[in-house]
Every structure is written in structure tokens, then in C-alpha cells.
Amino acid sequence: MKALRLTSLTGPSALELVDVDEPVGADLVHIRVGAAGVNYPDLLLMRGEYQGRVEPPFVPGSEVAGTVVSAPAGSGWSAGDRVMALPGIGGYAERVAVAPGLVLRTPDVLHDTEAVALLANHQTAYFSLVVRARLEPRETVVVLGAAGGVGTAAIQVASALGARVIGVVHREGADDFVREVGADEVVPLRDGWAAQVRELTGGRGADIVIDPVGGDAFDDAVRCLAHDGRLVVVGFAGGGIPSVKVNRLLLRNVGVLGAGWGEALRADPTLLAVVAGGVDDLVVGGLRPAVTQRAPLADGASAVEQLAAGGVLGKIVLEP
């Protein structure tokens, strides 16, 4: 079968399309991959910068959607089932084998290329907003990196749950796209953006800030929180890992929360059913992932490079 194999921890330039053996394992669910998601954790893994290091050569790809080819007896899965899965690695291939507990049924209303976007992005957003930040309807949610994969997912989830959403963007020309995916207002990421958020909220500030960016925006994100506000750290796509002066948290009665979905799932696998079920309910209610680009597996290296360069609005997926 064809797969994209990483030969060194130097990023997507080290990906090569090769023939590899099909995966084995009688206790695993074997899936014909219809779509594989391109996401930031995969990029970090390719650079050797992710918290869980994998030595090359290996096939990246932590999220897939497709059709079951075979499954172990008693797993609950059968050949022909349409599924989504979290293999961790191995997804940039024509087939993948995944533990039964990491396989989910694909909503009937979604194509594989849409369904795969629910995994790293919408599950992270739901976990961040609902499980970690305890979002309540009519609260105000500010989303940094609003035009990216996690950002658009956070906008869609927050909006579907009844929040007012302010998207913060650094890319020129992304405002209309961010509004289309559900933001009520859009603020450019430049000096004074936190003050603009406070102005839009009548001086009160945001109940929740979702931050997949980190870097220089972090301090202003703390400043724009309302009393009892929650800043949820999702990642550091901006490159820098910020620190917080805890006296600000004390004096303003605000909190900073971590939202590591992968780590939470490893610690408590039962969370997958809770979070995936919540996202499925939103899909039934009309949520559709913002998949803006599709690329063949052969173009996987350029797709990941495009993500690394900040050139992807919403989600890009590979189609083996």
C-alpha cells in the first residue's frame, strides 16, 4: 500500500511517498482510509518537538476517517462500517489499524473529509470549552487564531452552544471567512486588540478565551478576561511558550486552564465517548466542519508545509 513515511525529524520535507506493508494485528480494527487530517500536533511530531517523540522512519497521521475492512470479534465493529479513528500515527496511508476503543462511528450526514476534521479540531474545542472551561450559554468567548483548524472549530462549537463569539485573527483577508464559520465579531490581532474586546463587551471582558497560539498574545488575553474569566491554553502555534504572573490571577479572580485533549484521553479513555457524543449532537444540530482544502496523499508534504507556513484557513485533509 502507499504511505507517506517520515525519514528524519526535520519536518514535512522529510516525507516520502513509498510502498509499505499493510498493517497487521488480529486485535485491531483495520480501516481503509478515506481521509486523513493534517494538524499541528502531526507537524510537531515530524519536527521532534511534540511531547511524545517517535523515532523515524514512521508514517505520521493521527486522525483518519474511512471504512472498516476487518475487525476482531466482539469489538462492536464490522466490515463496511463507516468510522473515524485516532491511530496516533500511521494515518497518512491507504490503510491503518487502530485499537477498537479509539474508533468512532462516522455521522451519516458527513463525508469522510468532513468527519476527519471532528477529531483533532472539534473534539479539542469541545473538551476545551465544555469539559475544561464549563461554558454556559450566552457567555462571551474570544478565540485566538480564529482562522485556523482549532480556531474555526472553537468558533463553531461555542456558537452552537449558545455563546457570543469574538474571533481574533492575524491574517489579512480572513475576516469574512471567520464570520462565515460563526464569529459574531472579528478583531485583528494587533496592538490594542484586548482593548477592542473590552469595548465590544461594554468594558466587562470575555468570559472565556481559547488560545491555541501562545506567544506575545498571551498577556493581553489575560488582561481581556472578565471577572471569573477563564483562559484556556490549547497550544503554541505562535512558537513561544508564555508564562503568567500569578498575582494577576489573584487580583482579578481569573484562571488559566490547560486543555491537552490527547493527554486527557490517555489518562481517561472514557472521555472519548463523552466528548465525541457531544460533538455528534452538534453535528445533528447542523454543525459542519470548515474543510477548505483537499489534497491527494502524494501532495501530503506540501499540504503540511502549507499548514506550517500559516497558509491554511480552516482544515486541510489528505485523500489517499
Question: What domains are defined for the chain?
Answer: 2-119+290-319 (3.90.180.10), 134-258 (3.40.50.720)
Q: Reply yes or no: is the peptide bond before residue 23 cis, omega within 30 of 0.
A: no
174-227: pLDDT as tens digits? 999 999 999 999 999 988 999 999 999 999 999 999 999 888 889 899 999 999
Per-residue pLDDT at 238 exceeds 80: no
Mean pLDDT of the chain: 95
Cα torsion for 194, 195, 197, 201, to the nearest 10°?
Answer: 140
Per-residue pLDDT at 70 exceeds 90: yes
Report the pLDDT value the prediction gives residue 239, as an integer from 0 to 100: 66
Query: E-strand spans in 125-235?
Result: 140-144, 164-169, 185-188, 206-211, 225-233
Structural element, H or E, at residue 198: helix 193-200
Distance from C-alpha of 144 to C-alpha of 209, rounded to nearest angstrom? 7
Question: Residue 13 is which amino acid?
Answer: S
Asked whether the beta carbons of 231 and 222 are under 8 A apart, the reply is yes
Report the pLDDT value the prediction gives residue 7, as an integer from 0 to 100: 97
Report the pLDDT value the prediction gives residue 251, as an integer from 0 to 100: 83
